[in-house]
Amino acid sequence: MILVVALGATFGVWHLAREDDRREIKTNFDFRVDETISRLEQRMAAYEQVLRGVRGLFVSLKFAKRDEFHAYVESLHLEENYKGIQGVGFSLIVPKSQKDRHVATIRKDGFPGYTLRPKGERNPYTSIIYLEPFNWRNQRAFGYDMFSEPVRRAAMEQARDQGKTSMSGKVVLVQETDKQVQSGFLMYLPVYKKGSTPVTLEERRTQIIGWVYAPFRMGDLMAGVAGEHTGELDFRVYDGAEVADSMQMYESYTGGRHESGLSYLRTVKRLEINGHPWTLVIDPLPSFAERIGGGKPKVIGIAGIGLSLLLTLVTWLLATGRKRALALATEMNCELTERNQQLDFANRRLSRATRLRDEFLANMSHELRTPLNAILGMTEALQEEVIGPIVDHQRQALHTIEVSGNHLLELINDILDLAKIEAGEIVLDCVPVSMQQLCKSSLLFVKQLAQQKSICLEVSIQADLPYFLLDERRIRQVLINLLNNAVKFSPEGGDVKLTVRLDQTTNNNGASLKSDVLLIEVIDQGIGIAPEDIGKLFQPFVQIDGALNRQYSGTGLGLAMVKQIVELNGGRVEVCSEVGKGSRFAVSLPCDKLAASTTELAVKAQLDTLPKLDESPEKPHLLLLVEDNEANMYTFSSYLKAKGYRLLLARDGNEAVKLAQANLPSLILMDIQLSGVDGLAAIRRIRSDKKLANIPIIALTALAMPEDRERCLAAGADDYLSKPVKLSQLVGKIQKLLLR
Amino acid sequence: MAQSSILVVDDEPFNFDVVELYLRGLDYNLHYAASGKMALDYLDSYQPDIILLDVMMPEMDGIEVCKRIKSMSKWQTVPVIVVTALSTKDDLARCLEAGADDFISKPVNRIELRARINSMLRIKRQFDSMDNLVQLQYSTIDQLENALDEHQNQL
């Protein structure tokens, strides 16, 4: 009973699905047909454009010579851009009276064997005098009189009389050999004496000088049109508005009879291309039916029957009771044990894969470093002029390579280190370390960046610290990473504090057990970290600000590495942070790692006096830019600021002199063509002031005359650049003068 | 024809150096702005014919800059080429949605950069000449209307 009802329902659904499926197949097929036809039409339009271009050549040059024609057609790259076109040619009208002279001219042109073909008396003759590309196939048509053949002649006359592109009916091209003969057709565009198309029919007939034309082989043309699913549709093209075997120009399917079971889909389309009718007949092939068709109802039918049977089975199972259930439970138990074994195996494989990954990372980083070393080395050699002399802008380019190369190297090094730590390959290399020394050398690395941002680095180190047993290189890496982050995320003019002291920490075991730790803190007043982000901080490749708004560069590896190294040393990293107020990173290293016999080492310890790092850092150079063109002013100041200089701006000579006196800049960039007091006068006034006499001046001028240079230098400029100024070159000159 | 002016917006001046190097020998007037804000504030001074815009910049990213440029009627026809290291389709789609006219991926290739700039300038010129034509037509219409008014008054 259940079976009968279920099967009935299945039949109903199957029937609906089949209707649905047929609709879908039809839509799909129609879409493919439309797509193919529109592609064909687009192609034909593109070919017509080619002919128009060639006609344009004739109009603009009065008459194109052979080499001009050749160069133009070659530049079109027919084979790449216009697949299917056999060539582009020009057929010239030769009146009977001029035949001999014409043949002689062409023969003299380097074609001694040239004749008009086929032989015989006609008036007028036409001759294919140009046909590019001039390959062996196309050379077969050289000198051929297309007017002598009725199909071609009809199209040529139509083009001439209507002044429009025309297409011939089905022909066999002269280019065809005996093998693999394809049907073909030709496209013509008339060329008249005065260029434009004459108004009356009479004028058109008298003023025509020839045709630009293109031959097509149908098979080659259609090969690309069918698109990605070639072979799923049978595509036939007939010349004219009727379907007749004798007029068939092309059939895409060459495998003989086919039966897809979808014959109801056959579509007949009539196209008109350049005034010429074509009829297309499209049938689906069995492969189309396989890809698209018929699956759903079948699936539904089978699944429905299957489900019905299952339903019956379940009912039966319920009826036969718990004996089966028990058996099933035992079976499941066995399966569980088996699964557990599988899981265990998978786990082992996973850990092996992790290890392999780390090994791979490490190896890869090594492999990456090798070529990079060559790049950096060669760059350095070039910069040192070991290989040969270089000029300023080359130096700039080399500098860019060097900086970018170094950045890449840093990234690779970070990846390598992290991979090594994770692969458990790092062995600590502990030596007695003076914290004073360690801090000093770490600070060196961030000093430059801090100066650029006018950030004050404050250091306080507990005075009586002993030597500690530490892996110096890696702890320095930790310090550099933390300091670098602190400086990076601090606003201009902020403070960064590094403190090192001994501290006591409560052991996990209870409040009574206290142990000594070395506490290193890095405190900044930067952007801070939101509480929900703190957890993510130490994960590799994670940066808190999103990918797009990346205000701060970096790999996102730094903190991951800090954590790994500190933990490897048995220590801990802690963070307290508040958004907008700043962050405090605290590294505590356990005391049992510290140097045991502090007294012994203390004797050797020389109390290093740190350089006064906490005094305000050296300020970047101040430049005075004198420029009255706003676009240039913004470009220069933007660029130079980005390069780390400070800038003063003046718009005329007077202002420039005043600002120079008031601020004593390190260097002056002076535009010469200023309104009011001009640049040269301003330079003279600056030079006449004793305080300013030694400030280097670079003159900028748009007048690139040789005497300009002399005038600028005579007025007191140290160097000279003509506009448009290459900014990289400008920076080169600035650096050179500032170093002097 | 006047020299075309290209504004490069990028927080990293090295990238400008690269553009400068790549376009050497070509008759362009190159301008530089180190931030999106700078570019937006001084568009009237830069008078760009085309803008090369970096995407990853601090404070205001390139997408935002592009949106703002395209919302200014005076500058919305200036082609914006976005220079980006991002290459997922989503990222590119976002650039286009923000109004970018084209994009170049980093590292920039010299031939591609030149070609894209050329093509954008061509579009800009076509637009400008269309715009001129429209203005001309408008003034013709004005003149005709004036003439018509005069004739009507005389009647």
User: Does residue B55 belong to the interface with chain A, where contact is any CB pair within 8 Å?
Assistant: yes
Question: Does A643 sit within 8 Å of B46, measured CB to CB?
Answer: no
Burial of A538 (0-12, 13-18, 19+ CB in 10 A): middle
Residue of A548, A724, A726 with shortest CB distance to B61:
A548
Question: Does A724 sit within 8 Å of B29, measured CB to CB?
Answer: yes
Residue of A393, A400, A549 to mutate when probing chain B, most B C-beta within 10 A: A549
Q: Which chain B residues have a beta carbon less than 8 Å from that of A633?
A: 45
Residue of A548, A551, A727 with shortest CB distance to B55:
A548
Reading the block at residue A568, the tokens are 């490897």
Mind telling me how many Å the CA of A724 is from chain B's nearest CA? 7
Residue A611 is predicted with a pLDDT of 35
Residue A327 is predicted with a pLDDT of 82
A window 680-739, beta carbon within 8 A of B: 724, 726-728
Residue indicated by tokens 């029919």: A201
Question: Does A400 sit within 8 Å of B55, measured CB to CB?
Answer: no
Quick one: closest CA in A to B91, which residue?
A548
DSSP state for residue A260 in the 8-state scheme:
-
**Residues constituting chain A:** 740
Burial of A724 (0-12, 13-18, 19+ CB in 10 A): middle
d(CA A187, CA A97): 28
Quick one: closest CA in B to A400, which residue?
B14
Mind telling me how many Å the CA of A636 is from chain B's nearest CA? 7
DSSP sequence for A569-584? TT-EEEEEEETTTEEE
Quick one: closest CA in B to A547, which residue?
B56
Mean pLDDT for each 10-residue chunk of chain A (740 residues)?
Answer: 71 76 79 82 84 83 83 82 83 89 87 86 88 86 88 90 89 81 89 85 89 88 67 82 84 70 80 86 77 62 76 72 77 87 86 75 67 75 77 86 81 73 71 81 81 86 78 84 86 88 65 70 86 77 51 65 84 86 87 47 37 46 88 86 87 89 91 79 88 88 70 86 78 84
Long-range contacts of A41-48 (CB under 8 A, 24+ apart): A41/A271, A41/A273, A43/A84, A43/A221, A43/A224, A43/A225, A44/A273, A44/A274, A46/A82, A47/A82, A47/A84, A47/A85, A47/A187, A47/A214, A47/A216, A48/A165, A48/A187, A48/A189, A48/A274
Question: Does A403 sit within 8 Å of B21, measured CB to CB?
Answer: no
- Report CA-CA distances (Å) from A643 to A646, B12, B31: 9, 9, 15
Asked whether the beta carbons of A641 and A668 are under 8 A apart, the reply is no
d(CA A91, CA A155): 13
> What is the helix (H) or strand (E) element at residue A267, kind and residue range?
strand A267-273
Question: Does B11 sit within 8 Å of A728, measured CB to CB?
Answer: no
DSSP state for residue A550 in the 8-state scheme:
-
Long-range contacts of A539-546 (CB under 8 A, 24+ apart): A540/A418
Size of interface A-B (CB pairs under 8 A): 73
Quick one: closest CA in A to B31, which residue?
A635
Reading the block at residue A361, the tokens are 């990372």
Reading the block at residue A694, the tokens are 């030694």
Reading the block at residue A655, the tokens are 């202002």
Asked whether the beta carbons of A392 and A539 are under 8 A apart, the reply is no
Residue A601 is predicted with a pLDDT of 41
User: Does residue B42 belong to the interface with chain A, where contact is any CB pair within 8 Å?
Assistant: yes
> What is the helix (H) or strand (E) element at residue A314, kind and residue range?
helix A295-320
The complex's ipTM?
A: 0.74
User: Does residue B2 belong to the interface with chain A, where contact is any CB pair within 8 Å?
Assistant: no
Reading the block at residue A462, the tokens are 């507990």
Question: Does A551 sit within 8 Å of B46, measured CB to CB?
Answer: no
d(CA A223, CA A178): 21
CA angle A715, A721, A726 (to 5 degrees): 160
Burial of A43 (0-12, 13-18, 19+ CB in 10 A): buried
Residue of B20, B29, B42 with shortest CB distance to A726:
B20
Question: Does A642 sit within 8 Å of B31, measured CB to CB?
Answer: no
Largest CA distance in chain A: 125
Asked whether the beta carbons of A214 and A88 are under 8 A apart, the reply is yes
User: Does residue A638 belong to the interface with chain B, where contact is any CB pair within 8 Å?
Assistant: yes
Question: Does A551 sit within 8 Å of B58, measured CB to CB?
Answer: yes
CA angle A188, A193, A196 (to 5 degrees): 70
Residue A554 is predicted with a pLDDT of 58
d(CA A385, CA A154): 74
> pLDDT per residue over B30-57, tens digit each?
999 999 999 999 999 899 999 999 988 8
Question: Does B47 sit within 8 Å of A643, measured CB to CB?
Answer: no
d(CA A163, CA A734): 67
d(CA A564, CA A57): 72
Largest CA distance in chain B: 71
CA A560 to chain centre: 30
Question: Does B20 sit within 8 Å of A634, measured CB to CB?
Answer: no
Q: What are phi and psi of A626, to 5 degrees?
A: -110, 115
- CB within 8 Å of B143: residues ≥ 6 apart: none
Residue of B17, B34, B61 with shortest CB distance to A638:
B34
d(CA A148, CA A577): 93
> A590 in helix, strand or coil?
strand
User: Does residue B59 belong to the interface with chain A, where contact is any CB pair within 8 Å?
Assistant: yes
Q: Which chain A residues have a beta carbon less than 8 Å from that of B11?
A: 642
d(CA A186, CA A173): 9
Question: Does B46 sit within 8 Å of A548, measured CB to CB?
Answer: no
Question: Does B55 sit within 8 Å of A635, measured CB to CB?
Answer: no
Mind telling me how many Å the CA of A220 is from chain B's nearest CA? 32
Quick one: closest CA in B to A636, which residue?
B32
Q: Which chain A residues have a beta carbon less than 8 Å from that of B35?
A: 638
Q: Where does A449-570 show beta strands of DSSP type E? A: 456-461, 468-471, 495-506, 514-524
Parallel, antiparallel or unpaired: strands A88-94 and A208-217: antiparallel
Residue of A632, A634, A728 with shortest CB distance to B33:
A634
Q: What are phi and psi of A366, to 5 degrees?
A: -60, -45
Asked whether the beta carbons of B42 and A630 are under 8 A apart, the reply is yes
> What is the helix (H) or strand (E) element at residue A623, kind and residue range?
strand A622-626
CA A502 to chain centre: 52
Three-state SS annotation for A413-446: HHHHHHHHHHCCCCCCCEEEECHHHHHHHHHHHH
Mind telling me how many Å the CA of A726 is from chain B's nearest CA? 7
DSSP state for residue A493 in the 8-state scheme:
T
Reading the block at residue B152, the tokens are 């009507």
Question: Does A635 sit within 8 Å of B32, measured CB to CB?
Answer: yes
Computed over its alpha carbons, how large is the radius of gyration of chain A? 43
